[in-house]
Amino acid sequence: MKKSIWVLLLSSVLMFGTVNSFAKHHKGGESEKHEMEADANKDGKVSFEEFKAARVKRMEEHFNRRDANGDGFIDAEERKAAKERHKTHNNEKKQESK
């Protein structure tokens, strides 16, 4: 039970960071595009459940990318590696924009 609570807590923190980072990194049109991709039943509207499911899926994908060894935890080594990948990605983006 404690493990589930910690995973949920970590997931929530990651989700907030991911959403916050995403909002800063992408323009408004991108978030609207992602919202409409969440429209699972293709009725032209996104329900809260569809929105939530899409966010959970993205959060799980983000967590799994960072959990390189697949043990269900992100340790210090994995955090360091993710930070380095992020730094490299940002440097590449800066070079592209010049």
Region 70-93: what's the mean pLDDT? 94
Distance CA 52, CA 36 (A): 13
Specify the higher pLDDT residue, 80 or 27. 80
Specify the higher pLDDT residue, 97 or 76. 76
Distance CA 65, CA 9 (A): 18
Phi, psi (degrees; rounded to nearest 5) at 70:
70, 25
pLDDT in tens, 7-62: 766 676 666 665 555 555 555 566 777 788 899 999 999 999 999 999 999 999 99
**Residue 36's pLDDT is what?**
83
- Statement: residue 2 has pLDDT above 70: no
**Residue 90's pLDDT is what?**
93
